[in-house]
Structure 1
């Protein structure tokens, strides 16, 4: 949702900054990799050691790299499938580091907090599947909806929850990761069902839309 409605203001400013980067010879892939490295470092050092508020602020600033790389690619006319691959892989690594560092923090600081541990495991797993489901559907020529919770939504909710927890507001981390976990599961279901509907619309088959080799025996 935020990826669809929350970028309009940024898109007005980003092209101006992107022009400066292009003139300086900075490529989109450089920005992507620096942003990923900064996010991973902040997650491991700050979240992993319990500095939740500081980690939320620093990682929030690191997400600006994710907005700039696309703007630089457009400004310099250097967008490519390889750049898209680097961006996608970097995002998955960054997301895994954020949730993994929070999981490390909870296990070592609050080992009895089973709710947070379970929700973080679900969020860590399904946030990756959300992205994979979209990529796999696109590779197969299937149209899928954005769904309830895309990457920008997940990041904002996790960072706000962690930041408030770091300020001493109880249960905010648990609330944030629970929303992300449940929302990610719903989004995966939405995308799978959307892909099925797209498949049935484009290539209707007998027996509920299965190709013959996938019929139940």
Structure 2
């Protein structure tokens, strides 16, 4: 999740593109879907063959659709629960593609099963982080706390994968994924504790 200042910057940067796409009849939902397809193809099409750097480049190019579709929705006046639901759901698809692509490479051509295990653990815990917040909000609580939000997890993973693709030791990616796994677990615990405290205050 981008902070307020970063989101404001990207909104200004993507405003011309958003207006141009809307004038051509492109919907925010279409941009969301295309962005997800691009990220998934980059991760599952390039990572398994060991093309980590180019996979990261393709993913990065498409991941900004997550900002672009939001800008378009605000200009079109179509921001609402459906868009939020679709965006959140497809975010999970993107996460799965990225970590599964890394695991596929690690267990196969990469020959680093420890990375495959860590990528799988990060994917599982990342999904649990998101589920904890969604379930809390569905029950009327708030659980937007934690040290490992989605944006931080993805940026760290993609930067590490890209650097390894450029020739840095594989240990870099191993260390980053291990730290992310721990941070994700801590975030789950933080969210559980946060909801527990809220529920106790309510009696």
Instruction: Verify same fold: TM over 0.5.
Output: yes
CA contact (8 A) 1:161 1:175 kept: no
Query: Which residue of the partner structure matches residue 11 of structure 2?
Result: 11
Specify whether residues 128 and 3 from structure 1 end up closer, same or farther in structure 2 by C-alpha distance, changes over 3 A only: farther
Query: Which residue of the partner structure matches residue 50 of structure 1?
Result: 50
Query: Which residue of the partner structure matches residue 95 of structure 1?
Result: 95
Q: Is it true that 1:178 corresponds to 2:178 in the alignment?
A: yes
Higher mean displacement: 94-103 or 180-189: 180-189
Query: Which residue of the partner structure matches residue 69 of structure 2?
Result: 69
**RMSD of aligned alpha carbons:** 1.6
Q: Using the alignment, how far apart are the partners of 2:101 and 2:21 within structure 1?
A: 31
Higher mean displacement: 13-22 or 166-175: 13-22
Q: CA deviation at 1:3?
A: 4.1
Q: CA deviation at 1:36?
A: 0.4
Higher mean displacement: 140-149 or 9-18: 9-18
Q: Using the alignment, how far apart are the partners of 1:8 and 1:118 within structure 2?
A: 37
Give SS of 1:141's match: coil
Q: CA deviation at 1:87?
A: 0.8
Specify whether residues 5 and 115 from structure 1 end up closer, same or farther in structure 2 by C-alpha distance, changes over 3 A only: farther
Give SS of 2:72's match: helix
The structure having more radius of gyration, on CA atoms, is 1
Q: Using the alignment, how far apart are the partners of 2:79 and 2:23 within structure 1?
A: 16
Q: CA deviation at 1:141?
A: 0.6
Query: Which residue of the partner structure matches residue 33 of structure 2?
Result: 33
What's the TM-score once normalised by structure 2's chain length? 0.92
Give SS of 2:32's match: helix
Q: Structure 1: which 5+ residue stretches go unaligned? A: 205-217
Instruction: Report matched runs for 1:43-192 at 5 Å.
Output: 43-111=43-111, 113-170=112-169, 171-192=171-192
Q: Using the alignment, how far apart are the partners of 1:118 and 1:200 within structure 2?
A: 37
CA contact (8 A) 1:31 1:69 kept: yes
